[in-house]
Amino acid sequence: MRILTMIGLLALATPAAAQPQTQLQLDDLRAQQQAAERRAIDQSSQIQALDARLRADQASADLAAQRAGARLPLLPYGDPTLSTSAAPPPSYPSMPDAMLAASNQRVQDAARKRR
């Protein structure tokens, strides 16, 4: 009878003894899960920071490429800032005064006839 009582007590004590060990395992699993969540959040933050840095570097490179690509066309007659010699004065067309006066008179006569 004593042996039966002893086995019964041991049978009842076994779940109670296993309970703290299971509770410790649950606490350990919860701590591991929380640590994994924190690592995931840290990794996500690092990825977002690297993505933002990559976009900023790309935008900077695009601006530099635009600045470098905007070149002025080469002038076919040379650089105007470099003067090698004095340029000859331009030759403007000329009209004798008599011809100019006759042309002016014809324009005025045509304007009077219209009115």
CA dihedral 61, 66, 67, 71 (to 10 degrees): 140
Please give the helix or strand (H or E) that residue 33 lies within, else none.
Answer: helix 2-69
- Tens-place pLDDT, residues 87-96: 677 888 888 9
Q: What is the pTM of this model?
A: 0.40
- Tens-place pLDDT, residues 33-55: 999 999 999 999 999 999 999 99
Give me the pLDDT at residue 50, please. 96
